[in-house]
Chain A
Amino acid sequence: MSAIKKDSGFGVAHIILFFSIAILVIVVAVPVLLILFNAFFVNGHFNSRDFYNVLMQPETYAALKNSLIIASCTTIGSTIIGTFFAWLVTRTDLPYKGFMKGVFLVPFMLPSFIGALAWKMLLSPNAGFINKFLMSTFHLTEPVFNIYNYFGISMVEVMYLFPFVFIQVCGALERMDPTLEESARISGAGLLTITRKITIPLVMPSILSGALLIMLYSMAHFGTVAVLGVENGIYNIPTLIYERIHQSGGSFEAIRTGTVLATVLVVSAAVIIWAQHKILGKGHYQIIGGKSFRPMELKLRGLRYPLLAFCIFYIAFTIVLPTVVIFLVGGLKTYGLAFTLENLSLDNYKYILTEYTVTKDAIFNSISLGLAAAVITMFAGVMISYVIVKMKVRGKGILEFLGMLPFSVPGSVIALGVILAWSGQFGINLYNTVWIILVAYIARYMAFSLKSNSAALEQVHDSLMEASRSCGATMWQSLKDIVIPLVRPGMLASFFLIFLPALRELTVSIMLYSPTTRTIGVAIYTLNEDGETVMSAALAGIALIIIVTGQTIINRITKKVGE
């Protein structure tokens, strides 16, 4: 009897392993391999000269440097802000903590390129509303702020990316076993020592994994740099790829040049991940021990309300102000007019909603792509992370390697890869359909799902599973009764981490869209690029309404499921 059970467990394990490997190979490995292949081989012959030529161009250097500078600044800024706010809402007695925690997730809803559009309107040196206001109020001759530099770009990215760290750190702080800190306190350690020796080491994996997500995201991020940097000579690798592809009348040569640039991006991403592993070492923290207590809260005393005010001001400045500007500009007759009643109307919104044919397609595409990608990636992610983190089967090594791939493959690279893989050369042609965007989304967001699911799984102590198995449960039973309920927060988190970004995705879809498969992000960006600033702002406003509504509905649903 027990032998049969063992066998069936073994079978399940292998099926899961096989599926996991298949998904990762098809979705991620093949496109990446094709990029590398196309970067080095021309018509089937090895050719390193072209590769070398592209590498030696000063633009390539500059773009790589810009990518790294912007990504580093963004990562440092977001990590500090994200960790600070996470600590504030989980470990202190800040008033309205629960509410504030929700509020800090709001920046996540605002697409960073829409944010960039808004900040361009607010802070561009000659026409930015804030600059114009300050110049006329204080009779200045020179603008006060200039958003068109590394600082401006990073600042905008930090504003909208810090929730990556915030979510991770919040989760870690909430799940952390407070007895660890308490025992340190009982043993006479001071607050500083506890923070330094217990709290920080325990949440460090979460901080670093959030930081890593931001670093990789920002390095390959298209929107903000395209809006704020390109016009002033600040290119990063994705914007350079985008431009190269459009430069030479779209010959296949340009796509090849793109593959070389993509290779540069992949290599630098790999270096970053390697460095993170070095820093993090082999520390494994299984901090859910099956028991749970409420963590200790730090009394802020006199600082309670000033800190609350600071949080509210931060949100107002980074969220409310840009949103208001977007909606106002969306109401202007043409960009450049003053915000007076006679210049404002709802005509643009009416046009976008009723006449502009692209809108309906774009909204439908984005929502269905987001849902499909989130559901698929959530389940595939939990399965794959389970194999990587918990299972002891042969062939796991391959999966561990493949599992690392999605992390190191930035969005713009995936877009190029799926073009190469799915546009007919291998029998399946998805080009110009939504399917190619879906495949790209799955590949792109697999990293998020793996990250949050494996983080959740790592904290489930093996003893729980062992206990259930030794009580006679089958592998499947213990999975569904022990592991899944425990990692469900992680799964839900991965759903969030995927659905909402996918809803407002730009980096991937800008490379893959066709007349009928524009996503919301593409529709807004192309309108803006074509000089329909007020129209793009109106559509951005509508997109924000959709995103916020979507988020609210999801929150309701997940709350119900979580209960």
Chain B
Amino acid sequence: MKKSMMFLAGAAVCSMLLGGCGGGSKPGAPAAGNDSKKLIVYTSMKENLIKGIVNGFKKKYPDIQVDYQSAGAGKLMAKIAAEKQSGKILADVIWTSEVPDFYSMKKQGMLETYKTPVLKELVNPFQDYDGSFTAARLGTLGIVINTDKIKNPPTAWSDLMKPEYKKAFGMANPALSGTSYMSIAILEKKFGWKFFEQLKANGARIGKGSGEVIDDTSSGELSASLGVDYITNGKIKKGAHLAMCYPPELIVVPSPVAIFKGSAKMDAAKKFVDYLLSAEAQAMVANEGTIPVRGDVKMPDKFHLPAPKDALKNSIKINFAEAVSSKEATIKKFSEIMQVKK
């Protein structure tokens, strides 16, 4: 008797769930357009950077509920593409380091034009600025070394071809990490594909996300990697045996912030962008060891980073609009050189 009851109960649960799943989703489903009251920020910035900024924003605007998702730029874009396909983009604000994505979103008319009132106080790396997106950070990439393994810090990019980096230099996967893609495009611009062929010949490896290669460097699995400034500095703060080295040809990757057209929280979104560009939030950016976009923010000396204006001046120049059209081809060429197992 007990057994049959169990079976019946189970069958009931089963059909209920199936029915609920199929039928319930027609009208008023929780699915499309999660019109929650929250402002949603998609960002590729790591927890240690975005968390403080979001908390600061919450403190300043206690009425606005805000949530963020932090993931690699590639993942976020995949998500956005799928959301677009299904009719509704869930995010209101996007802040990543993958500049080409912003150009292509602009082209598709996905971005709201918003010229922030604090614009004149900012350093602007984009020649064709029109308010669709604004740089909110100037990320730098350098050679991160494991100080136990590498005794003489590298001073030039060509140092990476030395035997001490054999099979021990890593880069993040450009398909997953926007910063990694940008840095590869920049290095290619300056040194050509030969640079990567030489790296491959010296056994360079492709990791996953931009933070993962740094952890592998910290553990000693890699001796050095192409690393993002604030992620590395965050780990150094926690005691990792790492150091950040900058060759003279500086890789600077701006991280633009933009608002999606049709956001239901337009007002809050604009406030968030303004806050992100304010001296208060930019000071947090500087304190995490990356370059802010405001000249009036003081940067801690320990990071040995140049001031925003100098960073732009010394950086390898790249035409961002061009990097858009060549993105897929660049990644493809890069994977062909680096990933084909020999």
Contacts and interface: CB of A to CB of B under 8 A. Distances in A.
Interface string A5-30: 00000000000000000010010000
A380 B231 CA distance: 48
Contacts of B241: 336-337
Interface in A183-237: 226, 230-235
Interface in A227-281: 230-235, 243-252, 254-255
Contacts of A127: 216, 219-221
B7 A515 contact: no
B110 to A, nearest CB: 12
A484 B86 contact: no
Given A251-B81, A336-B215, A432-B34, A529 B86 contact: no
B212 A433 contact: no
A296 B80 CA distance: 62
B63 to A, nearest CB: 20
B235 A230 contact: no
A231 B74 contact: no
A120 to B, nearest CB: 8
A250 B69 CA distance: 17
Interface in B199-235: 205-223, 231, 235
B75 A246 contact: yes
B215 A126 contact: no
B339 interface: yes
B309 interface: no
Interface string B226-250: 0000010001001111100000000
Contacts of A234: 341
Contact of B240 (A26, A249, A336): A336
B21 A515 contact: no
B238 A379 contact: no
Contacts of A380: 14
A81 interface: no
B327 interface: yes
A438 B46 CA distance: 29
Nearest to A424: B86
A533 B31 contact: no
B340 A58 contact: yes
Interface in B235-284: 235, 238-242
A-side interface mostly: helix
A337 B240 contact: yes
Contacts of A435: 21, 25, 31
B218 A334 contact: yes
Given A334-B218, A528-B212, A530-B211, A431 B83 contact: yes
Contacts of A121: 219
A252 B86 CA distance: 11
Interface string A57-96: 0110010000000000000000000000000000000000
Contacts of B211: 530-532
Interface string A397-436: 0000000000000000000000100011001111111010
Nearest to A355: B51
Contacts, number: 211
A480 interface: yes
Interface in B40-64: 40, 46-47
Interface stretch (B156-164, B168-176, B184-192, B292-300): B168-176
Interface in A517-546: 526, 528-533
Nearest to A518: B69
Nearest to B11: A379
Contacts of B173: 230, 243
Contact of B78 (A246, A432, A439, A515): A246
Interface in A277-314: none
Interface stretch (A44-52, A103-111, A370-378): A370-378
Contact of B86 (A231, A372, A431): A431
Given A233-B339, A429-B87, A531-B214, 9 more contacts: A121-B219, A126-B220, A246-B72, A375-B10, A424-B86, A427-B26, A428-B25, A435-B21, A533-B219
Interface of B: 3-4, 6-7, 10-11, 13-14, 17-18, 21-22, 25-26, 29-32, 34, 40, 46-47, 67, 69-72, 74-75, 77-83, 85-87, 90, 98, 100-101, 104, 146, 168, 170, 173, 175-176, 205-223, 231, 235, 238-242, 327-328, 331, 335, 339-341
Question: 10 shortest A-B CB distances, which residue pairs?
Answer: A531-B211, A250-B78, A336-B218, A250-B81, A246-B74, A233-B341, A127-B221, A334-B238, A247-B175, A127-B219
Interface of A: 23, 26, 58-59, 62, 121, 124-128, 132, 226, 230-235, 243-252, 254-255, 333-337, 343, 356, 372, 375-376, 378-380, 419, 423-424, 427-433, 435, 438-439, 480-481, 484-485, 488, 514-515, 526, 528-533, 561
